[in-house]
Amino acid sequence: MAMTASSPRVLLRRLREVMAGSGSPQDRLNLVVSQIASNMVAEVCSVYLMREGRLLELFATEGLNPQAVHKTQLQVGEGLVGDIAAHARPLNLKDAQSHPLFAYRPETGEEIYHSLMGVPILRGGRVLGVVAVQNRTMRDYTEEEVEALQTVAMVLAEMVGSGQLVESSAFEESVAAALPQRLEARILAEGIAMGRAVLHEPRIEVARTIAEDVATEQRRLAGAVEGLRSSIDRLLASSELVAGGESRDVLEAYKMFAYDRGWLARLEAAVDSGLTAEAAIKRVHEETRARMHEITDPYLRDRLADLDDLANRLYLHLTGRQRGLPDQLPDDAIVVARHMGPAELLDYDRRRLRAVLLEEGSPASHVAIVARALDIPLLGRCAGITDLTDPGDPIIVDGDHGQVFIRPQEDVVQAFEQNLAARAQRQAKFAALRSEAATTRDAVAVSLHINAGLLVDLHHLDDTGADGIGLYRTELHFMVRASMPNVSEQTDYYRRVLDHAGPRAVVFRTLDIGGDKILPYQHDDTQEENPAMGWRAIRIALDRPALLKAQLRALLAAAAGRRLDVMFPMVAEVAEFKAARTILENEVARMARLGRDLPLSIRVGSMLEVPSLMWQLDSLLPEVDFISVGSNDLVQFLFAVDRGSPRVAGRYDPLSPVVLSFLRSVVSRCDEAGVPVSLCGEMAGSPLEAMALIGLGFRTVSMPPAAVGPVKEMVRSLDAGRLSTFMDSLYGSTEHSVREQLQRFAEDNQVVI
């Protein structure tokens, strides 16, 4: 016999009738389970709800032994029902009894049922319980049936949460006591933080799930869709695309989906099934997310991510709520987001921001770099975090071990408080090293610099005792503004940087925009498939020389009477460097003509981050005053591995013989030519990597400020001569990585890493 459930609309209507009827909450719940069972042609339907102490209690059943109601209890994680609650995901099993997690409870009499389909009852990202159906036969429940049960679970969540189905005394405590959760995540910026959750994207909250009147809900949905479309059209038509920092590309993608029939049809079908417009948006949104987890093609995933954002916007149109930063940021904010660009991170008030948790993200992405620059712990790939947290939830971020504790228990809190105290001690130890020299045991002096990009970074110069700023990413200042800073604004800004640095050198890198560094007020219609290799950095500067001229003019004016160090990013050919330098020389000549004060000295350098330069060193080195290796991009281009993609982030190791041999050649060529060379990528910021860099000859490195203490401690414990001899044996290796060998060297020689 073919078994199929009838439409969820019929079931939703019945459920509404049950709710409108009389009877105690328990009577209603009993009716609800029997309605679900008959609608889904299942012999059993049971509802388990969460009790205090992470116990799932059988609250009602059709089909199992009624004596078991309020008796059978399962721990979260125990048995199939416990597994559904623990992972907040459905299970659909044709042969449930042979599943390793099946936990037999004799009092229920369930041994005769073979198949099981269960879904979590979720509210605001928390698991309130589980609803499951069972059949005697080995039944294949279809995807549609799983979806129908999820729709029912959504309705149940609302009913349970509002106390209509369960005596509030029975449930109150467990609703309040949402479960603690621990997630594994990827460390993008180290550090530990405790604070309260702030959701970066608005959450779709549904107060009412079952429609009173389907036609009304259809009209509400149509109105919201209309509002959404016209707002996107308006934004696209306006010349300024400042709103929310969105780029035109994203809006174009939104537009495509907002007019997409498939998306709309799914929303309309959800409303037709008897849901309110809000509930329909949420339902479709959840489906989209579920699909997103299965899709591996990064392009399609991005498009689905757009669709996900669009659902949020549609919801805002429906409810008239405003998008934007939470206006009242707590002073211990832990921002939770699906993904985030560097500019969005900079929108938050640094003083109140303790940490950022992302569902996506990779270590070399610019948001990660900005987080490290700001010394804000950032964890990526926190699967499901946006669903699992509610605004205000206490969170502990362990950015040393890559874990997140949501609503942590008291013992975890205590352990972290101790850990924070220990960190404070370590910081004190690094602070004590502040004025000590970064000199190795065999008297090799290493110059440690910091990477910076915002005025808020500058105090790190004093705090860390760094020798200077080895990389000043000027684009960050451009990214945080709503409009392009003019020459005099830029001059003031660079002057403040130089004033703060005093006698310490600051290497200003000219604008490195393009790639994932998008200026909110600038757009270009050309879509690029690979923006990191596209129109970016010096390529833009040479094609739009006015931008570069204005920047150089401001830098020259700011450095009048003092030293100026400038470098150009993404140089791939010597001719590009020369062209940029000529623009600088012309600006110098112009200033001299105008009788303006000039810098006392000007040093012009090139970043080496595109491998092609390696084969042009003969002609490049005589032209430059210094070279700075950008290992982030260099590694990206050497291995053809997208630095922003979480999927390939760990695939190649910068401590591979390939990278190390490459860097060693760069250093020796620069040494021979007498050209100072440094490295300013993220590599320099981790003690083991920094050790390797010293071993291959670097004597100047630039890193995120938080890394200076640990790297200095490493330097002071190192014998550079011995390391360099040791490393001679590594360059010829054919291994994927020589990390382990370097680690062993550090252990054997008491190098602190």
Binding site for ligand PEP (CB under 6 A): 369, 471, 473, 512, 609, 630-633, 680-681
Binds 588, which of Mg ion, ligand PEP, none (CB < 5 to 8 A, cut-off by type)? none
Q: Which of 45, 382, 670, 680 is catalytic?
A: 680
Binds 408, which of ligand PEP, Mg ion, none (CB < 5 to 8 A, cut-off by type)? none
Residue 631 vs 700, nearer CB to ligand PEP: 631
Rounded CA-CA distance 364/636 in Å is 9
Binds 376, which of ligand PEP, Mg ion, none (CB < 5 to 8 A, cut-off by type)? none
Rounded CA-CA distance 539/569 in Å is 9
366 as an active site residue: the answer is: yes
Cα radius of gyration rounded to whole Å, the chain: 30
Residue 82 vs 646, nearer CB to ligand PEP: 646
Site string for Mg ion, 629-668 (x = CB under 5 A): -x--x-----------------------------------
> Smallest gap, in angstroms, from Cβ of residue 513 to Mg ion?
12
> Smallest gap, in angstroms, from Cβ of residue 683 to ligand PEP?
8
**Under rule CB under 5 A, which residues in 596-615 are in contact with Mg ion?**
609
Residue 105 vs 536, nearer CB to Mg ion: 536
> Smallest gap, in angstroms, from Cβ of residue 366 to Mg ion?
9
Query: Looking at beta carbons, which residue is closest to ligand PEP?
Result: 630
Residue 57 vs 633, nearer CB to Mg ion: 633
> Smallest gap, in angstroms, from Cβ of residue 506 to Mg ion?
18
Residue 746 CA: distances (Å) to CA of 167, 433, 731: 63, 20, 17
Residue 92 vs 631, nearer CB to ligand PEP: 631
Q: Token digits for 510?
A: 């000219």
Cβ 712 vs Cβ 448: under 8 Å: yes
Binds 204, which of ligand PEP, Mg ion, none (CB < 5 to 8 A, cut-off by type)? none
Residue 516 vs 623, nearer CB to Mg ion: 516
Tell me the CB-side half-sphere exposure of residue 11, using CA atoms within 13 A.
Answer: 25
Residue 370 CA: distances (Å) to CA of 356, 478, 595: 11, 13, 39
Q: Token digits for 164?
A: 């209509």
- Strand ranges across the sheet with 115-123: 73-75, 55-62, 44-51, 126-135, 115-123, 91-93
Q: List alpha helices for 655-738, DSSP H.
A: 657-673, 687-695, 708-716, 720-728
Residue 40 CA: distances (Å) to CA of 118, 270, 466, 586: 12, 18, 68, 79
Binds 124, which of ligand PEP, Mg ion, none (CB < 5 to 8 A, cut-off by type)? none
> Smallest gap, in angstroms, from Cβ of residue 607 to ligand PEP?
7
State phi, psi for 703 to the nearest 5 degrees: -150, 170
Does 393 engage in binding with Mg ion (CB under 5 A)? no
Rounded CA-CA distance 281/275 in Å is 9
670 as an active site residue: the answer is: no
Binds 473, which of Mg ion, ligand PEP, none (CB < 5 to 8 A, cut-off by type)? ligand PEP
Residue 120 vs 644, nearer CB to Mg ion: 644
Q: 62 pairs with which residues across the strands?
A: 45
> Smallest gap, in angstroms, from Cβ of residue 633 to ligand PEP?
3
> Smallest gap, in angstroms, from Cβ of residue 429 to Mg ion?
32
Strands (DSSP E) contained in 559-676 are 563-568, 601-608, 626-629
Q: Which of 114, 200, 366, 460 is catalytic?
A: 366
Backbone CA torsion sign across 732, 735, 739, 742: negative
Q: Which residues bind Mg ion (CB under 5 A)?
A: 609, 630, 633
Task: Please identify every residue annotated as catalytic.
Answer: 366, 680
